[in-house]
Structure 1
Amino acid sequence: MKNLFIIVFTFVSFSVFSQTDEEKAQANNPLAQITAFNLQQYYSPNLSGNSEATSSTYWLRFAKPTGRVLWRVSLPFSTYSNPETGVSTSGLGDFDLFAVYLAVSKPTLSVGIGPSVSAPTATHATLGSGKWTAGAAAVAFASLSPQFQAGGLAIWRTDVGGDDLREDVNILAFQPFAFWQVGSGVYFRSAPTWNFNLEKGTYNVPLGIGLGKVIKINKTVCNFFIEPQYSVLHHGDNQPLFQLYSALNMQF
């Protein structure tokens, strides 16, 4: 299963479908005023503190615009395995939601800000926080040219309820991204997510560069990509030292 996106990407990379330059540029826009469904995976074969441990998380994401507000819901399914202890845990993680108001919505620039919340839906304690959390999200996407797009996503949340026996939550995530279109729907990309646990003082800052392909099947714009990412700064156990970020994103 972990090689699914590699197989699909290789297959569609040799397919030719017609799509406009605008569709290619907007395929990676998190603020695109288009209904979207994404299937994304982060796979890490080695974690800090235990080189034998592995983790894999599939994210199901659905985005829907209503006027100038874009809603995005996400639900992770994760597997954590530690051969040294013989522990392997799989199940759902915490449900995630943010709604951003498009303060700026232009062909070359989109900016949104709004609330961000999560619910403790994890099926195992190691896969979630056990807390209700709330905070804010901010997103910006700039189409600097038909060939180059860039922007960033920032999310901060803290706990507002839940299991009193679980650790408090105070997290910050920042995802800078850049895309360079090279033609025929093919593009280079970099979109690592930098995670900071402000409560525990742990963090992970990866960098990566990957390859993507945008194709159009009937009226659906499909975006396949693979992006290896390496941690250049990290502190704390169970931080991914290397991970493969891959996805199929669809806009309808």
Structure 2
Amino acid sequence: MKKYTWIVLFLMFCFPSWGQIQKTYHYGVIPTENITTFEVNPSITTIDDSKGISTSQMTLKAYRVINEEYNWGIEVPLARFESPEKSVSGLGDTAVNATWFQPNNNDRLAFGAKMEFFLPTATDKRLGSGKFQASPSVYAVLFLPENMYAAVGYKHYVSLFGDHAREDINFGRIRLNIGYTSPDEWWVLTNLYYYMDFEHSGKAEFVPEVEVGTLVNDGVAFYINGSTHAAGNWDSKDWSLGVGFKLLYL
């Protein structure tokens, strides 16, 4: 993980200077914002704290505007799995996606849809699912007074083909997102996730998440978020913590 640490430190020092050339800024957190970004997102997830099982990732994310209604993106995770029995590092499963945004003809309500594919690029079975997955999603955003918004969406994950020795994937996720974007260049938001495993009937999980962020300068954003398993009989993790650095309007 030392090389990942040096990458983070390098980007922390470089991003502010790059951002100074930007003439405008944006938060990049509302689901219907269609902007070009590059993001570095280190995170750690404790799967089972009592057994010492965890994963850590350095995810590189790039999103590119095609036009007013569409963009495409790619996310590449560099991952590490740790347990008392074995620890491995390498590449995780890569995600590629395309998003449609409803043109902003309504000041109060907006819609969008996204198609994402997860490619089984992991270099070790502990770092990925071993399956090619399709993940369509739809969402709606309601803009509220005082710089607040609320969004609701549904995303489905299903494996199409891959390693037959691995479990098939078929689950859904409902997301409720409530956020506030301050005119003083910071934001706070809450995500409430509810997962339903259709492959194993009756398994479900509720995961709340809180995020706070700010603009370092014009065109550069920093955020930190945390989430935890709150309820349900599907224990995918105990807790997770992540930070992110975004370069906006490339």
Compute the TM-score of the two structures, normalised by the length of structure 1. 0.77
Is the aligned partner of 1:224 residue 2:222?
yes
Does the CA contact (< 8 Å) of 2:34 and 2:101 recur in 1? no
1:72 deviates by 2.2
Q: What's the CA shift for 1:240?
A: 2.1
Partners of 1:49 and 1:236 within 8 A in 2: no
* 1:74 and 2:75 correspond: yes
Q: In the TM superposition, what whole-angstrom CA distance separates every residue of 1:77-97 from its partner, at most 9, and x where no partner exists?
A: 2222112x2x11222121212
Alignment partner for residue 233 of structure 1, among 212, 231, 234?
231
Displacement after TM superposition at 1:208 (Å) = 2.9
User: Alpha-carbon deviations, 1:170-208, whole Å to 9, x = none?
Assistant: 132344322223452122222355444432455442213
Following the alignment from structure 1 to structure 2, what is the Cα–Cα distance between the partners of residues 177 and 42?
A: 20
Contact 1:117–1:157, Cα closer than 8 Å, also in 2: no
Given the alignment of the two structures, is residue 99 of structure 1 paired with residue 98 of structure 2, yes or no? Answer: yes
Tell me which protein shows more strand as a share of its residues: 1
Assess if the C-alpha contact under 8 Å between 2:49 and 2:238 holds in 1: no
Distance 2:58 2:154 in 1: 20
Identity of aligned residues (%): 19
Asked whether the 8 Å contact 2:92–2:123 carries over to 1, the reply is yes
Q: Distance in 2 between matches of 1:38 and 1:178?
A: 22
Contact 1:116-1:155 at 8 Å conserved across structures: no
Match of 1:127 in 2: 127
The 1:129/1:209 distance shift into structure 2, 3 A limit, reads closer
Residue 31 in structure 1 maps to residue 32 in structure 2: yes
Counterpart in the other structure of 1:65: 65
Matched to 1:82, the amino acid is: S
Give the direction of change, closer, same or farther, for the CA distance of 1:176–1:166 in structure 2 (3 Å limit): same
> 1:115 and 1:211 mapped to 2: Cα distance?
27
The letter of the residue matching 2:168 is: D
One-letter identity of the residue aligned with 1:69: Y
Give the secondary-structure state (helix, strand or coil) at the position aligned to 2:33.
coil
1:66 partner amino acid? I
User: CA, structure 1 residues 226+149, in 2 after alignment: closer, same or farther (shift >3 Å)?
Assistant: same
Residues 98 and 53 (structure 1 numbering): CA distance in 2 closer, same or farther, change over 3 Å?
Answer: same
> For residue 243 of structure 1, what is the amino acid of its counterpart?
S
Question: In structure 2, how many angstroms separate the alpha carbons of the residues matched to 1:76 and 1:153?
Answer: 24
Is this contact kept in 1: 2:51–2:83, CA < 8 A?
A: no
Q: How many residues end up aligned between the 2 structures? A: 235
Matches within 5 A, 1:206-225: 206-217=207-218, 221-225=219-223
